[in-house]
Amino acid sequence: MTQPYIRLDKDNAAVLLVDHQAGLLSLVRDIDPDKFKNNVLALAAAAKYFNLPTILTTSFEDGPNGPLVPELVDMFPDAPYIARPGQINAWDNEDFVKAVKATGKKQLIIAGVVTEVCVAFPALSALEEEFEVFIITDASGTFNPITRDAAWDRMSQAGAQLMSWFGAACELHRDWRNDIEGLGALFAAHIPDYKNLIQSYSKNTASK
């Protein structure tokens, strides 16, 4: 049966950044490391641009998984930061679930490392509790395409929607007339080709 089109709504969405930790990032091999980090920071920038409640969480950061990447800490100094002492599934941590539910949002935009564990487990758990779940595929990473594709299949079959950070940002924005320069600047900062497009647009606009 065809699923209905459920759009992201900036007034009803929260962002969960799960286990983007220094040690775990070294495991990501299904996407170029520089591109991956750029995508993570682009998603974070979009969360700030749309003023979406954002929750940060880590797993066993005192062990080999390491600390959260510092850029995310700097970007969200006031966001809930749940350092899980051992729970692999973030949804098994009571403080994390409380923070999610405290946002009052029903749409959860989730990204993390690694895809089949740190992303899939809380995504499946949230779906069980009737949240609408959107997985940012290019800001989530894992060992190889085989494990990634299996995780994507598992989540999508359970009802999660798979998106890129760019697609999510466009759906949240809805209409270019809401703010051309602001969204254009966000895209230009993370997509080199888009920077060329925005520069061309700005010059043409200035000359009129």
Enzyme catalytic residues: 118
Report which residue type is found at 129: E
Lookup: tokens for 14: 């929260």
Cβ neighbours for 47, distance < 8 A, ≥ 6 positions apart = 15, 54, 109
Q: Which long-range contacts (CB under 8 A, 24 or more apart) does 125-128 make?
A: 125/89, 125/91, 125/92, 126/91, 126/100, 127/158, 127/159, 127/160
> What are the C-alpha distances in Å from 44 to residues 15, 129, 141?
8, 25, 15
> What is the rounded distance in angstroms from the CA atom of residue 32 to the CA atom of residue 25?
11
**Non-local CB neighbours of 189 within 8 Å, separated by 6+ positions:** 42, 45, 195
Instruction: Report residue 4 as tokens.
Output: 């209905």
